[in-house]
Chains A and B, each alone.
Chain A
């Protein structure tokens, strides 16, 4: 099933936080399930950095199953028999929504670095444009993990009246110094690749594959955990019994990372990676609210369920707890569960029954209050 696509023409430019604007804006999105007559069963899913709108069905680029297939679908905790699911590719992305690889109408060439800088807030603006187009006033819930979780927090602070409830997972109210540092390593790897050509690789029919691959390898380590790596690979050799005394991928973990890196290059645009990682770095609800995070949520009437994982060191539990304390301080209706897992940050994408139960229970409760 190809993506649904909506293009907003010159009459509806996207005004960005940076002061610049983009037009036209195309949003590629998927929906699952059926919107009910009262339009009260819509759930918006926000994808993470390298995610996309293919939540449930096989991804047409990679032919791999949808990234949240365990959680969303018929009879799943987010049941598409009950709910109407919407997920759109973020602005700046590379899966059909306008991004740096889209054609700049002024030059008839890909935007590349002429694409304006986008923020998490800008992503939500496009999602609101889509929601308006679909004539949905208020979603039952907005859900997302990691960068998707940042988007959920942005919905909570910027569009509190458009959401009945919110589920930010494995996320933070700002990107930490360590996380900015990891992103910077990834970006520098891309920009150090001679095939990047100052961002103009598409014109030259090249791709900074090596740089993007290294960026992905570094990032992938941060999504796992020491325990998970140890359990999965240990010091095992890859298809050999002893070291070769070369720089081949002797160890399974090396081979795995190289595989992750090269796969990623086939499905992701390097400039999109630069822009989207930057949008995460700029995210900071605390500074935006003069150091008092509670102020971000002062207009929030929605029920919030925050989920973190004990083994996540990229977006640790303490970051989620900070949001919980702020929501308590603002008098919001918040639940919080810290799920036992040694799978690292990636846990939110995996088969985690406790996360599924929490989401399912919370949604049912919100729904019953809605009726």
Chain B
């Protein structure tokens, strides 16, 4: 991997976190996917887990793609459009690779576990060794495949490490039911052996949260 190459972008068709999310979800559950993009994850969950899936997506062209696939998707964002949903109206609320771009991630986390009985959140890990190395060697803000933009045009305004995220969940009194870190190749890294190692080798992580 060329860590200077900022042209590599996530391709939603091979998002490794989707596989992990898919494994966390129970069959026939009700799911809200926030930032559902072109509906790839929703379709995957409907196909393999027969879920009742809904989505929220900010881009109208992506909403149109979802509609063409027969998905129920609302154009909007989590900051504004979660208000209408009653408490625990979904079994799972999914927020994949989006929390770091939100205005108020703390409030969003609270809202996710109001609307959903459980929340599944995937984050890019700012504690990943390449990120750390980039910063320490080049002395510049890291640009990596999972964080491809420069500091001034990045949407990722609230980055955190796996450890930070775990701390926040504790503050919020959330129970981490499952946590999986993924290395660059999508291989799963156990938290159980060493959180220190997971925070170093994990390029991203997926958490299954519930209220204590």
Contact = CB atoms under 8 A, between A and B. Distances in A.
Interface of A: 294, 303, 305, 321, 324-329, 331, 333-340, 354, 357-358, 360-362, 364-366, 368-369
A358 B67 CA distance: 6
A333 B55 CA distance: 11
B139 interface: no
A294 B89 CA distance: 14
Contact of A328 (B64, B75, B84): B84
Given A324-B84, A325-B84, A336-B75, A331 B70 contact: no
Contacts of B93: none
B70 A365 contact: yes
Interface string B65-105: 01111111111100011011110010000000000000000
B12 to A, nearest CB: 19
A324 B74 contact: yes
A369 B69 CA distance: 12
A357 B64 contact: yes
Given A340-B60, A364-B68, A335 B73 contact: yes
B60 A339 contact: yes
Interface string B31-64: 0000000000000000000000010000011011
A294 B83 CA distance: 13
A337 B81 contact: no
Given A335-B73, A339-B60, A365-B71, 14 more contacts: A294-B84, A305-B67, A321-B76, A324-B81, A327-B84, A328-B84, A331-B89, A338-B75, A354-B64, A361-B68, A361-B70, A364-B68, A368-B70, A369-B70
Contact of B84 (A326, A340, A362): A326
Contacts of B76: 321, 324, 336
Contacts of B86: 329, 331
A337 B73 CA distance: 8
Contacts of A360: 68
Nearest to A360: B68
B67 A335 contact: yes
A71 to B, nearest CB: 15
A303 B60 contact: no
Interface in B100-129: none
A334 B64 contact: no
A336 B74 contact: yes
Contact of A354 (B60, B80, B83, B89): B60
B92 to A, nearest CB: 16
A368 B69 CA distance: 11
B83 A365 contact: no
26 contacts: A294-B84, A305-B67, A321-B76, A321-B80, A324-B76, A325-B84, A326-B84, A328-B74, A328-B85, A329-B86, A334-B72, A335-B63, A335-B66, A335-B71, A335-B73, A337-B64, A337-B75, A340-B60, A360-B68, A361-B67, A361-B68, A361-B69, A364-B68, A365-B67, A365-B69, A365-B70
A364 B75 contact: no
A272 to B, nearest CB: 36
B164 to A, nearest CB: 31
Contacts of B63: 335-337, 358
A329 B72 contact: no
Q: Which of B66, B72, B73, B81 has the most CB of A within 10 A?
A: B72
Contacts of B74: 324, 328, 334-336
B72 A333 contact: yes
A326 B83 CA distance: 10
Contacts of A358: 63-64, 67
A355 to B, nearest CB: 9
B81 A321 contact: yes
Contact of B85 (A329, A361, A366): A329
Given A335-B73, A335-B74, A357 B83 contact: no
A354 B74 CA distance: 15
Contacts of B70: 361, 364-366, 368-369
Contacts of A331: 86, 89
A305 B71 CA distance: 11
